Structure 1
Amino acid sequence: MADLRVTYDETANAAYVYLTDPQVRTRSSRMYPCDPVEVDGMINLDFDEQGRLIGIEILRASSKLPEYLLASSERLDADGA
């Protein structure tokens, strides 16, 4: 199983799940916002120039992602571990 890179900013309560090779720098070409009513929050899907899904931004992350994933994520906030 491949390692999954997840960053989390507890202050903003925002997480980002990277779906790309960590050795390759990939730029987002297009962002698709999921319907906030349907998902009870804001989730954005990032795609590269070839239309491949490269990452997922999750706002209100503590209510959307499992605690173990947030606890093991790379912290971006000043209070992070």
Structure 2
Amino acid sequence: MHIEYDHENDLAYVSLVARIADGTAVRQFTLETPSGADLNLDFDEAGRLLGIEVVGARAGLPEELLRQASGPGE
């Protein structure tokens, strides 16, 4: 599992696999959370969850987790 956080845009991405190749995530499901963050769940063709994008990450994730996350592209 790897977490990236874009502080400027308040977006986090939690990768559940080592690498998500281009075109692998073929389905996306969006959920609204009670905290106000939106979750975009990325699935492969077999229905396996690959990663989770958190829009409004400061509202939806613990601050400690965001501090430990790498920056975009790191």
TM over 0.5: yes
Question: Partner letter of residue 43 of structure 2?
Answer: F
Q: Which runs of 4+ in 1 moved over 3 A?
A: none
| 1:56 maps to which of 32, 42, 52 | 52
Distance 2:36 2:56 in 1: 9
Note the aligned Cα RMSD (angstroms). 2.0
Question: Partner letter of residue 42 of structure 1?
Answer: D
> Which secondary structure state, in structure 2, belongs to the residue aligned with residue 69 of structure 1?
helix
Q: Is the alpha carbon distance of 1:39 and 1:28 closer, same or farther for their aligned partners in structure 2, counting shifts above 3 Å?
A: farther
Segments of 5+ residues of structure 2 without an aligned counterpart are: none
Q: Is 2:67 the counterpart of 1:71?
A: yes
**Identity %, equivalent residues:** 35
Tell me what 1:28 maps to: 25
Larger Rg: 1
